[in-house]
Amino acid sequence: MSQRDEALEIYSLGRDLLSAKLIERDQWEGIRWKLAKTPRLINRGLVDMDWHQAIRLTLILSVIEREIYSLVDEINSNAEKCGKPCVDATNANLD
């Protein structure tokens, strides 16, 4: 297998993984948004959100964001080697 073919294979796999990570990020963002919109009752009728869950979701999203940027770097490195277009982390349309 030539270096170009190997780069193309890694590039294609990376784009598939990036697409899946972007979908996963959107799903977690939806959960976090729902949590922020769903109040919970605490002492004497005060309303608050579940801050422990919010922090947990923020940490999960932070890890996913790092994975996305790592995938973008890997994809773009291989894009140069196989003559394919580069991607960026904000581009959810990978068609």
* Helix runs in 1-95, H state only: 3-37, 51-82
Q: What per-residue confidence (pLDDT) applies to 90?
A: 67
Rounded to an integer, the average pLDDT of 44-69 is 86
Residue 86 phi/psi, 5-degree rounding, is -75, 165
| Token pair of 4 as six digits | 């170009």
Average pLDDT over residues 63-75: 95
Residue 38 has pLDDT above 60, yes or no: yes
- Does the pLDDT at position 93 exceed 60? no
Residues in contact with 42: Cβ distance below 8 Å, sequence separation at least 6, in sequence order: 48
One-letter identity of residue 43: N
